[in-house]
A and B are shown apart, each in its own frame.
Chain A
Amino acid sequence: MSGEQKMNRRSFLRGSLGAAGGMAAVAAALTPLKDLDLSEMTVDHFLQKHYKEMSPKEIDQVIERISKEVEERYDLRPELKDVKPMDGVEFTYLLNLGRCIGCRKCVHACVAENNQSRSPEIQYIRVLEMPRGSVNLEHSNHHYGDKKVPSKDHFYMPVQCHQCDNPPCVKVCPVEATWKEDDGIVVIDYDWCIGCRYCEAACPYWARRFNFAEPEIPKKDLNPKMGYLSNRPRHKGVMEKCHFCLHRTREGKLPACLEVCPVGARKFGNINDPNSEVVQILKTKRIFILKQEVGTKPRFFYYFDEDYGFGD
Chain B
Amino acid sequence: MAPEQNELPKMDSPEKRPLQYGSGSWLLGPLFLGVAAWFFLGMKSPDLPPKKLYPINQSAISTAPRRKMIGVQPPKIHINGFDRTCNDCHNSFKSETPKIKGRLQHKEIILEHAINTSCFSCHDQKDRNYLISLKGEKIEYPAVVNLCAQCHVRIHRDWVKGSHGRSNGYWDTRKGPMKRLKCTQCHDPHQPRHPAMDPLKPLPGPHTLRMGEQTEPREEESEDVLYLLKKNGSGGFGPKAGKKEKR
Contact = CB atoms under 8 A, between A and B. Distances in A.
Contacts of A281: 161-163
Interface in A115-158: 118-123, 126-127, 130-136, 139-145, 148-150
A23 interface: yes
A4 B202 contact: no
Interface in B153-205: 154-155, 158, 161-172, 174-176, 178, 181, 186, 192-194, 196-205
Contact of A122 (B38, B39, B61, B205): B205
Interface string A14-53: 1110111001001100110111000000000000000000
A251 interface: yes
A30 B176 CA distance: 55
Nearest to B198: A148
B227 to A, nearest CB: 4
Nearest to A26: B35
B197 A259 contact: no
Interface stretch (A54-62, A71-79, A172-180, A264-272): A264-272
Interface stretch (B96-104, B125-133, B209-217): B209-217
Contacts of B23: 7, 11-12, 15
B209 to A, nearest CB: 9
A27 B38 contact: yes
Interface string B61-74: 11100100000000
B39 A30 contact: yes
B31 A23 contact: yes
B21 interface: yes
Nearest to B229: A133
B136 interface: no
B5 interface: no
Nearest to A37: B44
Contact of A101 (B32, B197, B203): B197
Interface residues on B, range: 35 or more
Interface string B213-237: 0111111011110110110000000
A311 B193 contact: yes
B81 interface: no
Interface in B1-55: 15, 17-25, 27-28, 31-32, 34-35, 38-39, 42, 44-45, 51-55
A233 to B, nearest CB: 14
Given A253-B170, A262-B186, A150 B27 contact: no
A267 B201 CA distance: 24
Given A34-B44, A308-B155, A140 B24 contact: no
Nearest to B213: A143
B174 to A, nearest CB: 7
B206 interface: yes
Q: Which residue, B24, B55, B155, has most C-beta atoms of chain A within 10 A?
A: B24
Nearest to A96: B163
Contacts of B53: 118-119, 216-218
Given A112-B56, A260-B62, 17 more contacts: A20-B31, A35-B44, A103-B197, A118-B54, A118-B56, A119-B51, A119-B52, A127-B202, A136-B222, A141-B216, A150-B196, A217-B53, A252-B170, A254-B178, A263-B186, A264-B167, A264-B181
24 contacts: A1-B15, A4-B18, A11-B20, A16-B27, A20-B31, A23-B35, A101-B197, A107-B202, A108-B61, A119-B51, A131-B219, A131-B227, A134-B226, A142-B202, A143-B214, A149-B199, A206-B208, A216-B51, A217-B53, A253-B169, A260-B62, A262-B66, A264-B181, A310-B151
Interface of A: 1, 3-8, 10-12, 14-16, 18-20, 23, 26-27, 30-31, 33-35, 86, 96, 101-105, 107-109, 111-112, 118-123, 126-127, 130-136, 139-145, 148-150, 200, 206, 209-210, 212, 216-218, 221, 249, 251-254, 258-264, 267-270, 276-277, 280-281, 284-285, 303, 305-306, 308-312
